Structure 1
């Protein structure tokens, strides 16, 4: 008889291969929802598969798992109990390899966890992906530190070669770039290219957001806009560049559809902390934000979907700080400022 873990992995393999039935999918969601560890693994594996990894990595499963286990323990020891570490993770090795084999039989491919980045993509880059509700720290080969926010992906080479150091970002990340005057560091997003030598800065470049932002903390950067490569914008410390993401006429930001340089937003409630980078310290700070904008950030922070039944409620404005608060606590704190009701069903929050 299958254990819960084995049943979950078998169902997940069925889902990844596209052969899962409706009843099996409901069972998978129920198992993942009842156990936070399984839910985290399920989201990571599905995200990795969805981002193009399915069917591309079909060799070295045993070696890959050993690297995976070592890296996962280094990044998050809570995922690996001490007895599992001492025993070499035998149970989890068997489960992962059995699941990988099931995926090969069902879909013709091997999968690994999304955020491990232990195998290269077809373009020669390694990819780290964080599902909603998770954040991570990445150390690049040149010594650069990167803090990757939730629902974000960073692609980078295992070793930098040639005359530049280039990485690719979707989502949000804070970079503390190691100095190397002979090799500029370049961050590519869908909207802009950020060129630096040695500095620290934050980039928020979620494709679905209306704007893309680059906030410089120290040093100096040169930004090149993709739709206007001839126009280069230099940022100095304590400056933020805001660029409309899609040329959407509905975007209303200080200068309409034009890029604009602003000052970062300093919190009035957190010792003048910079709001744009507060997430690195595990704080979600918001200041005079509409409920609609805050809800988008909370979705990524708490790994939920938030929908409004009343459009007027979306225009309510809030100022505050969330740190260790769980989702119900956060919503109750907001209710102290403005009147609204909410309900939580599985991963969906309904505001009314």
Structure 2
């Protein structure tokens, strides 16, 4: 079915170039039951620009999100504004992470003031403590990165995470704190929680230590947030989109912060990925059945030989050997 709007009309709408007739078309479009899904599809298209490989930064994307929401509020009846704006905000937050909308940012005279973006990152076997501009403390695990503005502005505090981090968020009811990963968005006011979101892991995990956390999946048909309380963990399967919530010991989840490994019936496949990020080695195992076996083990981040000796003797055990920068599991 042909829709009354397209991306050209949306661009005109945000830039105050629409005729009254075009405004009426957009108003009609926003009243359609499936408008949020169609709008998301339009925004996720490749927006043509002179340099399509250069994504917009977070501050610029936040500026356009706010501008769009203001425009929608102007033409929507007050009783209907809040619900719809929450839906479209999720779409824009997703675009904030993957980039896009560079077309807008090239227009003269309509750019926001540039905001300095900072990135903190860790390499193999390294941990890092980061203090954000609002005094929130973030502990980055190995092979992770965190992007955040030099100064938080606007009505929300937003950061982007790749990898794993433990957050101790400074309470501020007027400015909720958002963490965006490539698949999930986490919102809090003041709490502590762990996020594990490595792109080579099959699952993403959000674990709450204190307070309350809301987790949403952008683009999902079910836009309601899943609310997590202390010692609750949400896992999201990257490939199937399945969401599960379970009860865990949050202290175990953040044990890496204290220099320890705690494997609570984790598969050998997941364990080797964690060890690879810490020790900078590659694990090779052609036995798929063995990779899916689960192990329960707690140990300090000692040298790799001691770790492998303990791991290989747990459960039914397995054989292994070191070869250059590889650990070959048999």
The two structures have a TM-score, normalised by structure 2, of 0.61
Deviation per residue, 1:272-309 (Å, 9 max, x gap): x7322111111110122222221111111222110114
State the partner residue of 2:257.
280
Is residue 231 of structure 1 aligned with residue 228 of structure 2? Answer: no
1:313/1:233 CA distance change after superposition, 3 Å? closer
1:309/1:192 CA distance change after superposition, 3 Å? closer
How far, CA to CA, are the matches of 2:155 and 2:304 in structure 1?
Answer: 46
Residue 190 of structure 2, aligned match among 168, 183, 198: 198
State the partner residue of 2:304.
327
Is residue 240 of structure 1 aligned with residue 233 of structure 2? Answer: yes
**Does structure 2 conserve the Cα–Cα contact (< 8 Å) formed by 1:185 and 1:195?**
yes
Mapping for residues 122-141 of structure 1, pairs under 5 Å: 124-141=116-133
Unaligned 5+ segments in structure 1 are 1-51, 53-121, 248-256, 267-272
| Deviation of the 1:123 alpha carbon | 7.5
How far, CA to CA, are the matches of 1:193 and 1:341 in structure 2?
Answer: 40
Q: Count matched residues.
A: 217
State the partner residue of 2:323.
345
Mapping for residues 37-48 of structure 1, pairs under 5 Å: none
How far, CA to CA, are the matches of 2:219 and 2:325 in structure 1?
Answer: 37
Mapping for residues 91-170 of structure 1, pairs under 5 Å: 124-170=116-162
**Does structure 2 conserve the Cα–Cα contact (< 8 Å) formed by 1:309 and 1:350?**
no
Mapping for residues 179-194 of structure 1, pairs under 5 Å: 179-194=171-186
How far, CA to CA, are the matches of 1:312 and 1:221 in structure 2?
Answer: 36
State the partner residue of 1:260.
244
How far, CA to CA, are the matches of 2:196 and 2:122 in structure 1?
Answer: 14
How far, CA to CA, are the matches of 1:312 and 1:189 in structure 2?
Answer: 31
Runs of 4+ in 1 over 6 A off after TM superposition: none
Deviation per residue, 1:169-191 (Å, 9 max, x gap): 01110000001111111001111
| Deviation of the 1:242 alpha carbon | 1.2
| Deviation of the 1:156 alpha carbon | 0.5
Bigger Rg, structure 1 or 2: 2
User: 3-state DSSP class of the match of 2:264?
Assistant: strand
How far, CA to CA, are the matches of 1:221 and 1:289 in structure 2?
Answer: 24
How far, CA to CA, are the matches of 1:291 and 1:138 in structure 2?
Answer: 31
1:259/1:317 CA distance change after superposition, 3 Å? closer
How far, CA to CA, are the matches of 2:153 and 2:237 in structure 1?
Answer: 32
1:234/1:308 CA distance change after superposition, 3 Å? same
How far, CA to CA, are the matches of 2:293 and 2:231 in structure 1?
Answer: 29
How far, CA to CA, are the matches of 2:289 and 2:303 in structure 1?
Answer: 25
Deviation per residue, 1:80-100 (Å, 9 max, x gap): xxxxxxxxxxxxxxxxxxxxx
**Does structure 2 conserve the Cα–Cα contact (< 8 Å) formed by 1:129 and 1:153?**
yes
| Deviation of the 1:345 alpha carbon | 2.5
Deviation per residue, 1:55-76 (Å, 9 max, x gap): xxxxxxxxxxxxxxxxxxxxxx
How far, CA to CA, are the matches of 1:322 and 1:212 in structure 2?
Answer: 23
Deviation per residue, 1:212-253 (Å, 9 max, x gap): 111111111222211327222111122111111233xxxxxx
**Does structure 2 conserve the Cα–Cα contact (< 8 Å) formed by 1:244 and 1:258?**
yes
**Does structure 1 conserve the Cα–Cα contact (< 8 Å) formed by 2:143 and 2:277?**
yes
User: 3-state DSSP class of the match of 2:277?
Assistant: helix
